[in-house]
């Protein structure tokens, strides 16, 4: 999986199509990512004590990696990502402009 925590990505499919956000967590084995403030769902929370009230909270859910694209920092467009081996390090690069991503 070529998307990591902290990357800026754009959602290409679904109810939040066209919106951009930052990756909060990535699940490489599941092939999913959680994006800050996007793909929100309502969750009912029970009161923990007698004085509290129950409430409905919006929680971000994981979205499949195939439905998002990384946004390049230099060309500011959603791009495909390639991998290069430079010495002993693997680096990601933008397939549109060729710059190295982080």
Instruction: Please report whether residue 82 resides in a domain.
Output: no
Q: What is the mean pLDDT of residues 1-14?
A: 93
pTM: 0.80
Q: Both tokens of residue 18?
A: 């066209």
Task: Output the domain CATH number for residue 54.
Answer: 2.30.30.30
| Euclidean distance between CA atoms 26 and 76, whole angstroms | 22
Q: What is the mean pLDDT of residues 64-92?
A: 92
> Can you spell out the DSSP letters for 40-94?
EEEEEE--SSSSS--EEEEEE-EEEGGGEEEEPTTT-SEE-EEEEEETTEEEEEE
Domain contains 77 = no
Q: Is residue 28 part of a domain?
A: yes
- Give the range of the structural domain holding residue 54, as residue numbers without chain letter: 8-72
Tokens of 52: 């509290």
CA neighbor of 71 nearest in space, from 33, 24, 19: 19
> How many structural domains compose the chain?
1
* 23 inside domain: yes
- Considering only 12-16, 27-31, 98-102, which range has the smallest mean pLDDT? 98-102
> H/E element holding 11?
strand 8-11
- pLDDT, tens digit, for every residue of 28-72? 999 999 999 999 999 999 999 999 999 999 999 999 999 999 999
């Amino acid at each position: 999986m070529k998307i990591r925590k902290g990357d800026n990505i754009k959602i290409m499919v679904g109810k939040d199509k066209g919106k951009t956000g930052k990756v909060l967590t990535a699940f490489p084995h599941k092939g999913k990512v959680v994006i800050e403030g996007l793909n929100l769902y309502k969750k009912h929370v029970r009161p923990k004590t007698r004085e509290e009230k129950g409430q409905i909270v919006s929680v971000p859910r994981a979205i499949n990696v195939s439905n998002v694209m990384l946004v390049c920092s230099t060309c500011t467009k959603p791009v495909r990502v390639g991998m290069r081996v430079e010495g002993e390090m693997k680096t990601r690069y933008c397939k549109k402009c060729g710059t190295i991503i982080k």
